[in-house]
Structure 1
Amino acid sequence: MTHILRAHLSALCLAGLLAWTPVSAAGSDPARPNVIVIMADDLGAEGLACYGSTIYTTPNLDRMAAEGVRFNNAYATPLCTPTRVMIMSGLYPNRTGFKALIGKDDEVRLPASIRTFGHDFHDAGYATAIAGKWQLGQFDEYPDQPIQHGFEDYSMWTWFYDGKKSSRYYSPHIYHNSQLFIGADKDYGPDYYSKHLLDFIDTNRGKPFLIYYPMALVHSPFKHPPSLEKLARTKFTDDLDKSTVAFGHMITYMDDIVGKIMAKLEEHGLEKNTLILFTGDNGTHRSITSKLPDMDLKGGKGSMTESGTRVPLLAWWPGKIKPGVRDELFCLVDVLPTIASVAGIKLDRKVDGMDLSHNLLGTAGEDRQQVLMSFKKGYFVRDRRFRLHENGTLYDIPVSSDKERYSEAKAGSEDFISDRERLGAVLNDFMAIEQANTNSKSRKAK
């Protein structure tokens, strides 16, 4: 029975192999590493200073990039639902059936039969927590969703509740370990989600833990957070519209939350035994135009383009990860097998993602050669120069510069015949993947 709290919560109260492939676990370490996966909402790679933004201020993520690994070529799907299922399951959207935005009809949810990294780490003895944006089913209908997916501790924006969409930011509606919290006007949702995780680290600092933080920030509506506006405005130019100004402020606030998590680890001396991955679920909202050193870039959310699918990916693990920039391809389907390998967890099933932990640790291993993407009725395969779509359109967009990669330059129909054939064979195999036989109603999408 759901209880409504009206007081504050405590204190703020990848292409891989097209056939499914088993993951080979890394060597077991008596001091098993903690793992924190942070995923911003609607943040393309151009949204961070460490990826070249000239207007957004992100000192903590810049530090993470400088002290860890920054991936130049990381990709998600163009929209939240497919990426959220993909990153947790290690399965492609056309495998799970989640290829578009999840619907709001009754009985629509992520089925408990789809295993996630929450299950894997929980079953391996890790304490597990999730906070932020779930949006894979409604909590008034399925109140135990996070627990059913392996997360024993949670604090989530409700999304839709009692038939109404709730606020993720001010006056937040939060489902917190089976209790519904309705915040006051001045209460700011991201403060609650992050505080919950900081408290979780305090409580579980003596045991291995997994944290998954699908952030509410920086999705619309573009409203100024409660502080840090002066810092956010440090690099703003006079030609920014109101939405971009608020968006930039939200980026800086998001960055500060990441900094607090890093500081909490350092407070307890856990940073050398904790891997943090930071990424985004899809490209930036289309109403936002960001600035790179030699170009302005309109957000590509919802489009099968470079700006719609290229996301930041940073890996921070002091003493374990050699700092640098990696140009290898990485798809968010690879997150599950990669973090399982780092933690020494051997998966009991096959997944579509690849174990790319060697790209983090600088060891030998098989690299991803192409990124494969499924969204609605569209498909593409991308390597380091070309992107081929299901309709036969080939884009010549090398990753050697932002102008080239974001140009969306089409190749002629008679150009690069051998590359078309090579990528076409990979794409055909990818498109032939069949959806797993689970409840199709739960995948009803809009």
Structure 2
Amino acid sequence: MFASLLLSAAVLAAGPADDAGAVPDGASPAERPNVLLILADDLGVEALGCYGGVSYETPNLDRLAAGGRRFEFCFSNPLCSPSRAELLTGREPLHNGIRRVIYDPKNHREFLDPAREQSVGNLFRDAGYATAAAGKWQLSFLTERDTPAGLGFERSQFWPIQIDGARTSRYAEPSFWGDRPDGTRGGWSVPGGYGPDGYNAFVRGQIDRAQAAGQPFFIYYAMLLPHFPWEPTPGSEDPLKRTASLASSDHGDMKYFPDMVAYMDRLVGRTLDHLERTGALENTVVVFLGDNGCQQGIISERRIDGPHGPRTVTVNGGKGTLTDAGTHVPLIISWPGTIPAGVDDGLVEFSDVLPTLADLCDLPTPRNPINGVSFADRLGVPGMPERPDRDWVHIQDKAQRQVRSRTHMLNERGQFRPVVPPGSKPAPPLSEPLSPELQAERDRLAAALKAVETFDGP
């Protein structure tokens, strides 16, 4: 199992790493590490055991965290399309144009435009990497604007939200869009199949393709799980059934959510095992995140440390809200033998991932100004340039915007409130007059909110 290699990363925590893991300046593609960027769908920190979650089984991700770097305070946008666009471009929704969820082709004409935006896929492809992407796109309607190649992904397979105006199934008897086995591109369905299994097989196949060609790879694995509809997974006592995935009247049964989280974890383990069997794991940077918090109505238990010792709190999923329950997501980064095991308690937002990977892999500077700040120097990898640490993150849903520090939040309406412990109800806005210390914090966050709005480059 891949845990054998992760132990070597844990050993590094006992002493300094040497220069063998650093990427040399001007490195050729063959000298650069592979990158596997995994994004789960609707997964807050409370769902993983490594973050204190006690409601679900996540042994593979827990082992990944134990051998790598776990980030305590990573924040996304509260819904999928804005988070995905920010992750891939390093740019806030205000600047990349994706401020809401893309799901209705009749009313939503937004898409992540390759003519205007440059993605992390473009950077890796132009640096000589084999690039691929799979799972959930939701940055364009693929049957109308098949944009992954323009954004740097040489090969891709995604779940199409609709085909010929009909909603499709992402799980049982799934529909696919992208590179078919026969070399053509378009849509198809797999009667008797299970969507997440198909995308996982595609990802493993792209690892093999890159290795056969002698190229490093960058793979964006945007998992479908554990987003609704909540349905049985393979191996369940209940039969799989085909469900239109965006049917608002039927989100399935929440009783299947634990099995879907467990199956998501199993697919991560399957991919990591494949990396180990092919000899690629030790030279692969694995990044795992959730795109936003768990769906509202999902109730989870989480064990946290408090001033009087550990305690268990109940967390109600907050997807779609600017609360921590909607935006506080897991971030785990592993590079066995190079990144020492540990926990980072600094602030991170999704725009930071692109510049961090660019530093780790010696990629060229993006052509567009990015909002992200690299945290590669916090990973313990030798030779990484020092960057300023964040003291706030920006979160957006349509016109709603918020900046959050470790202690306070300020939104676009001027509401200023304290951050509350996990499982607590949001605090009411603080009333005027504020103490000098609180007024200084509010002023600092107001300046940050304005800075994001007016940003045009560093």
Q: TM > 0.5 between the two?
A: yes
Q: Which residue of 1 aligns with 2:88?
A: 88
- Matched-pair contact (CA < 8 Å) for 1:397–1:409: no
Out of 187, 211, 216, the residue aligned to residue 193 of structure 2 is 187
Out of 139, 153, 156, the residue aligned to residue 155 of structure 2 is 153
Equivalent-residue separation in structure 2 for 1:107 and 1:395 (angstroms): 35
1:178-209: CA deviation from partner (whole Å, max 9, x where unpaired): 1322111x310000000001111112123200
Equivalent-residue separation in structure 2 for 1:48 and 1:244 (angstroms): 17
Equivalent-residue separation in structure 1 for 2:149 and 2:172 (angstroms): 26
Equivalent-residue separation in structure 2 for 1:227 and 1:252 (angstroms): 12
Out of 423, 426, 429, the residue aligned to residue 445 of structure 2 is 423
- Matched-pair contact (CA < 8 Å) for 2:78–2:396: no
Equivalent AA in structure 1 for residue 172 of structure 2: Y
Equivalent-residue separation in structure 2 for 1:59 and 1:341 (angstroms): 30
Q: Which residue of 1 aligns with 2:245?
A: none
SS at match of 1:104: coil
Out of 401, 406, 410, the residue aligned to residue 379 of structure 1 is 401
- Asked if 1:209 corresponds to 2:217, the answer is yes
Equivalent AA in structure 2 for residue 328 of structure 1: G
- Asked if 1:128 corresponds to 2:131, the answer is yes
TM-aligned CA deviation for residue 142 of structure 1: 2.4
Equivalent AA in structure 1 for residue 137 of structure 2: W
- Asked if 1:43 corresponds to 2:43, the answer is yes
TM-aligned CA deviation for residue 382 of structure 1: 0.9
TM-aligned CA deviation for residue 121 of structure 1: 0.6
1:347-371: CA deviation from partner (whole Å, max 9, x where unpaired): 1422111111112236643211210
Matches within 5 A, 1:182-261: 182-184=189-191, 186-205=192-211, 206-227=214-235, 243-261=253-271
TM-aligned CA deviation for residue 108 of structure 1: 4.4
Q: CA RMSD in A?
A: 2.2
TM-aligned CA deviation for residue 228 of structure 1: 6.8
Aligned residues: 395
1:127-174: CA deviation from partner (whole Å, max 9, x where unpaired): 00000001222222224x211111111111011111111111111110
* Structure 1 pair 182–35 and aligned structure 2 pair: CA distance change class (3 A): same
Moved more, 364-373 or 35-44: 364-373
Equivalent-residue separation in structure 1 for 2:432 and 2:237 (angstroms): 49
Moved more, 327-336 or 425-434: 425-434
Q: Which residue of 1 aligns with 2:243?
A: none
Q: Which residue of 2 aligns with 1:358?
A: 377
Equivalent AA in structure 2 for residue 305 of structure 1: T
Q: Which residue of 2 aligns with 1:111?
A: 113
Q: Which residue of 1 aligns with 2:12?
A: none
Q: Which residue of 2 aligns with 1:15?
A: none
- Ranges in structure 2 where 5+ consecutive residues have no aligned partner: 1-22, 180-184, 239-251, 304-311
- Asked if 1:282 corresponds to 2:285, the answer is no
- Matched-pair contact (CA < 8 Å) for 1:26–1:341: no
Matches within 5 A, 1:24-103: 27-30=25-28, 31-102=31-102, 103=104
* Structure 1 pair 42–408 and aligned structure 2 pair: CA distance change class (3 A): farther
Q: Which residue of 2 aligns with 1:237?
A: none
Moved more, 290-299 or 275-284: 290-299
SS at match of 2:379: helix
1:414-435: CA deviation from partner (whole Å, max 9, x where unpaired): 3311211121122122233589
Equivalent-residue separation in structure 2 for 1:365 and 1:26 (angstroms): 18
Calculate the TM-score normalised by the size of structure 2: 0.82
TM-aligned CA deviation for residue 244 of structure 1: 3.8
Equivalent-residue separation in structure 2 for 1:419 and 1:154 (angstroms): 45
Equivalent-residue separation in structure 1 for 2:210 and 2:65 (angstroms): 26
Identity %: 36
* Structure 1 pair 251–229 and aligned structure 2 pair: CA distance change class (3 A): farther
Moved more, 32-41 or 98-107: 98-107
Equivalent-residue separation in structure 1 for 2:237 and 2:65 (angstroms): 23
Equivalent-residue separation in structure 1 for 2:236 and 2:35 (angstroms): 28
Equivalent-residue separation in structure 1 for 2:41 and 2:423 (angstroms): 24
SS at match of 1:303: coil
- Matched-pair contact (CA < 8 Å) for 1:223–1:246: yes
Equivalent AA in structure 2 for residue 217 of structure 1: L
Q: Which residue of 2 aligns with 1:295?
A: 313
1:355-408: CA deviation from partner (whole Å, max 9, x where unpaired): 11112236643211210122211111111111111112222116xx5356x654
Out of 159, 171, 174, the residue aligned to residue 173 of structure 2 is 171
- Ranges in structure 1 where 5+ consecutive residues have no aligned partner: 1-24, 231-241, 436-446
Equivalent-residue separation in structure 2 for 1:434 and 1:341 (angstroms): 21
SS at match of 1:312: strand
TM-aligned CA deviation for residue 331 of structure 1: 0.4
Q: Which has the higher contact order (CA 8 A, sep 6+)?
A: 1
Q: Which residue of 2 aligns with 1:432?
A: 454
Moved more, 243-252 or 90-99: 243-252
Calculate the TM-score normalised by the size of structure 1: 0.84
Equivalent AA in structure 2 for residue 253 of structure 1: Y
Moved more, 412-421 or 219-228: 412-421
